[in-house]
């Protein structure tokens, strides 16, 4: 295959494999070489097994030669966030608590990737147990931004976004609890899709906040996000929250000319705190849609100002419950300094969890405790219903919502680590989609004066990913933002 392949799209690589201008072994080896060349500066990967990767690629080439292609991803390297279970691979969640744990089974999304023929290339770094917005909370390493390696990649799926942006992978999987796919996608200049809650199975995803978590793809283009969603979406009886539905053909919808649409602009997303250069880029994108014939409607989501408070009550409460299983007794980190069983429990958790995870467990335990449950958790759930109703009313008037993904571009490593509240505000524009269970996508829409990517977020109705992708694809196709790529350099 002539030319550099590191920044080819999934669609281009599928065509190259089909035409046999490149083999899966060659494609996989090239990406392993790329990882060796740049990951020392990016630090996107927690681990990979070169021998196993090449063995998967060889099997793909043998299938293709015999005319027994498994599916649309046969021979394509895919990276996996280290919170999704892959049989016989590490499952660390970037935490000391699980640093030696190897998964005994595959998540449903992994089974679907394997059935489609994907080459699983490695485990990607993240904020510990998906709790963070910069991948600085990882117990293993900090992942840096390929556009400026003195800056963060975002979080919690920072490794998944940075690996795609740096050309180490064509596609990856992340998880999104409050923006953890979309925000790092914005920071790293790639596409990140959070599907409707329940469209993609959570079986095999290590739980942070069960009513908010959702797995989704990070890719170079909107079309590639649709191709990945096609593989991983669908009903799973092993996930009680999985929606019993048959997804449409997402790629077919992108080939059709659609629109113009009626698009809403929520005024709450353009209030104080939005960086002027980010605001200018989003407004330019809104103007483009208007020039294309779309009707732009200013709307209001009156309860959005409560979203941060509601999110950090519900998410921490669910985290407190979900993380109670890590007790030092079974498969997790076990302290060697404990005197008895009770001491073992306390010391193992104290040693195994990082500061941010401890903070969220303490907050969650507090809001669930006797005397505070009604005042905090129950009230937060009621306001969550109001936030969901705000979106329902908005989508009765418009086909989609246009907003910034983040109020600012990627920030310097260490800049916000001492101020948890400032870090939490990184997700102010993304968390409401998780509370409402609606789909959202982030795609590049410009760069600031320092050459850092800016992300446009588009939010859609539940189960309307096809329309959401079409709205995003129309903008992407008319611009060259996804054609620009970083050249990772060491930090100053």
3-state per-residue secondary structure call for the chain: CCCCCCCCCHHHHHHHHHHCCCCHHHHHHHHHHHHHHHHHHHCCEEECCHHHHHHHHHHHHHHHHCCCCCCCCCCCEEEEECCECCCCCECCCCCHHHCCCECCCCCHHHHHHHHCCCEEEEEECCCHHHCCCCCCCCCCCCCEECCEEEEECCCCCHHHHHHHHCCCCCEEEEECCCCCCHHHHHHHCCEEEECCCCCECCCCECCCCCCCCCEEEEECCHHHHHHHHHHHECCCCCCCCCCCCCCCCHHHHHHCCCCCCEEEEEHHHHCCCCCHHHHHHHHHHHHHHHHCCCEEEEECCCCHHHHHHHHHHHHHHHHHHHHHHCCCCCCCCCCCCCCCHHHHHHHHHHHHCCHHHHHHHHHHHHHHCCCCHHHHHHHHHHHHHHHHHHHHHHHCCCCEEEEECCCCCCCECCCCCCCHHHHHHHHCCCHHHHHHCCCEEEEEEEECCCCCEEEEEEECCCCCHHHHHHHHHHHHHCCCHHHCCCCCCCCC
> Does 349 reside within a domain?
no
pTM of the model: 0.96
**pLDDT at position 251:** 83
> Does 230 reside within a domain?
yes
Query: Looking at the 3D structure of the chain, how many domains does it have?
Result: 1
Catalytic, out of 94, 138, 156, 186 = 156
> Does 340 reside within a domain?
no
> Does 109 reside within a domain?
yes
Catalytic, out of 8, 81, 114, 416 = 81
Distance CA 303, CA 393 (A): 12
> Does 396 reside within a domain?
yes
Catalytic, out of 180, 201, 242, 426 = 180
Written as tens digits, the pLDDT of the chain (492 aa) is: 434 799 999 999 999 999 999 999 999 999 999 999 999 999 999 999 999 999 999 999 999 999 999 999 999 999 999 999 999 999 999 999 999 999 999 999 999 999 999 999 999 999 999 999 999 999 999 999 999 999 999 999 999 999 999 999 999 999 999 999 999 999 999 999 999 999 999 999 999 999 999 999 999 999 999 999 999 999 999 999 999 999 999 987 787 668 899 999 999 999 889 999 999 999 999 999 999 999 999 999 999 999 999 999 999 999 999 999 999 998 899 999 988 999 999 999 999 999 999 999 999 999 999 889 999 999 999 999 999 999 999 999 999 999 999 999 999 999 999 898 889 989 999 999 999 999 999 999 999 999 999 999 999 999 999 999 999 999 999 999 999 999 885 544
**pLDDT at position 487:** 87
| Residue 412 known to be catalytic | no
Cα atoms in the 13 Å half-sphere on the side-chain side of 10: 30
**pLDDT at position 259:** 85
What residues contact 452, with CB distance under 8 A and at least 6 apart? 145, 147, 148, 151, 187, 409, 410
**pLDDT at position 2:** 38
| Residue 186 known to be catalytic | no
> Does 425 reside within a domain?
yes
**pLDDT at position 3:** 43
> Does 472 reside within a domain?
yes
**pLDDT at position 356:** 97
CA 376 to chain centre: 28
> Does 336 reside within a domain?
no
| Residue 81 known to be catalytic | yes
CATH of the domain at 47: 3.90.1300.10
Owning domain of residue 35: 10-268+279-299+390-483
**pLDDT at position 489:** 59
């Amino acid at each position: 295959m002539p030319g550099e392949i590191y920044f080819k799209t999934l669609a281009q690589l599928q065509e190259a494999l089909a035409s046999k201008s490149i083999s899966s072994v060659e494609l996989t080896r090239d990406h392993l070489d790329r990882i060796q060349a740049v990951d020392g500066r990016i630090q996107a990967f927690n681990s990979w097994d070169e021998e196993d990767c090449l063995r998967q690629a060889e099997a793909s080439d043998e299938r293709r030669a015999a005319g027994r292609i498994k599916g649309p991803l046969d021979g394509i390297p895919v990276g996996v966030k280290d919170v999704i279970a892959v049989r016989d691979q590490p499952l660390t969640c970037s935490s000391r608590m699980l640093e030696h744990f190897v998964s005994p089974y595959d998540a449903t999304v992994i089974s679907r990737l394997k059935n489609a023929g994907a080459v699983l290339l490695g485990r990607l770094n993240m904020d510990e147990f998906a709790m963070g917005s910069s991948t600085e909370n990882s117990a293993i390493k900090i992942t840096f931004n390929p556009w400026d390696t003195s800056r963060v990649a975002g979080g919690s799926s920072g490794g998944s976004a940075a690996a795609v942006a740096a050309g180490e992978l064509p596609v990856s999987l992340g998880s999104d609890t409050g923006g953890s796919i979309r925000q790092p996608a914005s920071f790293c200049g790639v596409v990140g899709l959070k599907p409707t809650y329940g469209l993609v199975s959570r079986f095999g995803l290590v739980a942070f906040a069960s009513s908010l978590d959702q797995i989704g793809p990070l890719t170079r283009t909107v079309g590639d996000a649709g191709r990945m969603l096609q593989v991983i979406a669908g009903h799973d009886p092993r996930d009680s929250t999985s929606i019993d539905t048959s997804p449409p053909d997402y790629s077919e919808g992108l080939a059709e000319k659609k629109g113009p649409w009626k698009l809403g602009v929520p005024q709450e997303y353009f209030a104080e705190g939005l960086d002027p250069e980010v605001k200018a880029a989003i407004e330019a994108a809104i103007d483009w849609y208007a020039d294309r014939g779309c009707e732009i409607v200013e709307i209001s989501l009156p309860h959005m100002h409560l979203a941060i408070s509601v999110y950090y009550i519900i998410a921490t409460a669910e985290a407190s419950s979900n993380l109670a299983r890590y007790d030092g007794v079974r498969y997790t980190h076990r302290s060697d300094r404990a005197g008895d069983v009770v001491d073992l429990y306390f010391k193992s958790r104290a040693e195994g969890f990082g500061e941010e995870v401890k903070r969220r467990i303490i907050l969650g335990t507090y809001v669930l405790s006797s005397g505070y449950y009604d005042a905090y958790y129950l009230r937060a759930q009621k306001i969550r219903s109001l936030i969901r109703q705000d979106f329902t009313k908005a989508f009765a008037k418009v086909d989609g919502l246009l907003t910034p993904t983040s109020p600012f571009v990627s920030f310097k490593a260490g800049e916000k680590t001492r101020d948890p509240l400032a870090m939490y505000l990184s997700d102010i524009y993304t968390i409401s989609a998780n509370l409402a269970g609606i789909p959202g996508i982030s795609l590049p829409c410009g760069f600031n004066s320092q050459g850092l990517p800016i992300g446009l977020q588009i939010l859609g109705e539940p189960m309307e990913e096809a329309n959401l992708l079409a709205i995003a694809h129309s903008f992407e196709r008319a611009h060259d933002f996804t054609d620009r790529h970083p050249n990772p350099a060491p930090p100053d």
